Amino acid sequence: MKDIIRNVTDLKYLKWSKTRSSSGTAGTFLKSYEVKNGRKIYYKLSDYDPVKGIVGHECVNEIIAGRLMDLMGVEHLAYTLVHADIEIEGREYRTWLCRSEDFKSPGESKITLEEYYETQRLGKERPMEFCLRMGWAGYVSKMLVVDHIILNRDRHGANIEVLRDKRKKGIRLFPLFDQGLSLLCRVHEPDGLENYDVMEDKQVQSFVGGRSTRENLDLIPGSEWTGISLPERIDRDTFFEGLSGILDERYYDVIREMITGRIEYVRSIRDSRCINE
């Protein structure tokens, strides 16, 4: 698979730093980067514990979320899952991490949506109202649907970025990125999968919406539902191709159940809204 590199890569030369601390988000998530041929290449780890090592599987979630968005036709940053040797504070680990490349075009600069909103909003305009005024209804509508299906816990204001090109006087939203804190991210051991409620509406952080991914679906304008594409079927063998042995196979069974069930919930809303329109 093009999004997985199974041969072990030596990345012990990378230096790791902690990411921005997200309100309500437990865990330590380390990031790094290097420059090759003038382009930045970014790396990130799953949840890291200084004593236990890499305890999470957020990087696998990132690949799964990306495959879902491919099926939905949603633009997103492409991640590659890399099997690598790394070093953190003098200790070596063999783990799976995510790699991505700089998406910016020459001449573009980026700013978080949160920062851009604070400088450009009108009066007491809320983030969703601001995005609609900016002409980003399609983008945020698809984002809210994706975040519900994968139960993304962490779409804070820095996990959405605005790209600006001063020369062309253009502005656009960065493709969706950073979906690792989703799916079964808090289930670190397979035993925790037993009786897991895949439809539970857990509390999340969403800059554009609120604390509920289910309630956030109500923010989507009726006219945008016709543009929401949903897969008819999630074929287990195809969808999880290449991931065998990286996580316990029970994870993939529950993740498929979760994605399938939540897609059907969204489909029922979409079909109802489209009929009413």
Q: Supply the range of the domain harboring residue 83.
A: 4-101
Q: Number of folded domains in the chain?
A: 2
pTM: 0.94
Q: What are phi and psi of 170, to 5 degrees?
A: -110, 160
Q: What are phi and psi of 128, to 5 degrees?
A: -65, -45
Instruction: Note whether 137 and 262 are same-domain residues.
Output: yes
Task: Give CA–CA dist 114/121, Å, rounded.
Answer: 10
Instruction: Note whether 126 and 78 are same-domain residues.
Output: no
Q: Which residues contact 126 (CB under 8 A, 6 or more apart)?
A: none
CB 211 within 8 A of CB 203: yes
238: domain CATH number is 1.10.1070.20
Instruction: Note whether 151 and 85 are same-domain residues.
Output: no
Instruction: Note whether 129 and 225 are same-domain residues.
Output: yes
Residue 94 burial (CB < 10 Å; 0-12/13-18/19+)?
Answer: exposed
Instruction: Note whether 75 and 161 are same-domain residues.
Output: no
Dump pLDDT digits (tens) for 123-148: 999 999 999 999 999 999 999 999 99
- Which pair of structure tokens corresponds to residue 3? 């999004």
Ordered per-residue pLDDT tens for the chain, 277 residues: 789 999 999 999 999 987 654 445 567 899 999 998 888 999 999 999 999 999 999 999 999 999 999 999 999 999 999 999 999 999 999 999 999 998 877 778 899 999 999 999 999 999 999 999 999 999 999 999 999 999 999 999 999 999 988 776 788 999 999 999 999 999 999 999 999 999 999 999 999 999 999 999 999 999 999 999 999 999 999 999 999 999 999 999 999 999 999 999 999 999 988 766 5
Instruction: Note whether 120 and 22 are same-domain residues.
Output: no
